[in-house]
Amino acid sequence: MSEERVEQYRRMLRWYPSQWRAEHEAVVVGILLDQADARGEPSPRIGDRFALAVGGLRRGFGVADGRRPAVIIPLVLAAAFLTFYVSVITWSPGVDYAGTLGPFSNPTVIVAGLFVVALAAAFAGRNVAARWIAVVAAGTQLGLSLLASGFDWLGPSLPTAVLVAGLGVISALPWHAPLATGISLSLLLSLFAFILAGDIAAAAVPLPGVDLAVAVAQTMVLAAVIIVIARAARRATTLELRTGAS
């Protein structure tokens, strides 16, 4: 077994914290090499590289007891996006159209407030309360989008509502740490693509049903990305369990 080949597998673990590597690197590398030899593979598979990257990042996202990254991270993304949306997109002092709420062009500021409350509850370790508030916020966002399309309000658009509601639903599902990083990474990677590509496409093609079609396409893409990364997270977790590193 060449030292260069062993080093290839060691480099796959660079995503993990240094303390974790010091304790478990030798065992993990040994397992990976045994598996590769059994399959007759001279070098690491792309799937193993990806799984260990997800697993290492998951370790890096660890938080204090009582706080769950599976709840906190999607809520952080939702609160950050809604802060931008409310302060830049909907902030319209002096505008008086159907659906305006004070200085805001649509009532999404209510949803932003709910997500901020949910995030505060999650940071306080009150995960049940945070999840319920997130569900209410997601439902409110979808409801506002339906009202906007029915009464010609200035938003929120359906693609935007799907993104925000999706973040709320993901934070509310009873997933644990092994999936939290994978799900959140997928959202981080697709966040700007969702908003820019989806909303621009819907605006550029002002035909009936385009908003719905864009929202469905976005949801399908996000679901596929989540599945791929979640499977990688599970693969990394299985490997860690075999080494006693959980």
Task: Identify the pLDDT of residue 160.
Answer: 79
Q: How many angstroms separate the Cα of 58 from the Cα of each of 78, 92, 93, 172?
A: 20, 40, 42, 19
Give the contacts of 199 (CB within 8 A, at least 6 positions apart). Answer: 157, 159, 160, 214
User: Average of pLDDT values for 152-179?
Assistant: 75
Instruction: Label residue 188 by pLDDT band (50, 70, 90).
Output: low
User: Average of pLDDT values for 119-140?
Assistant: 89
Instruction: Label residue 64 by pLDDT band (50, 70, 90).
Output: very low
pLDDT beyond 60 at 50: yes
pLDDT beyond 60 at 65: no
* 24, 243 Cβ separation under 8 angstroms: yes
User: Average of pLDDT values for 203-222?
Assistant: 65
pLDDT beyond 80 at 84: yes
Upper half-sphere CA count for residue 52 (Cβ side, 13 Å): 24
pTM of the model: 0.56
Q: How many angstroms separate the Cα of 201 from the Cα of each of 108, 150, 198, 212?
A: 21, 20, 5, 11
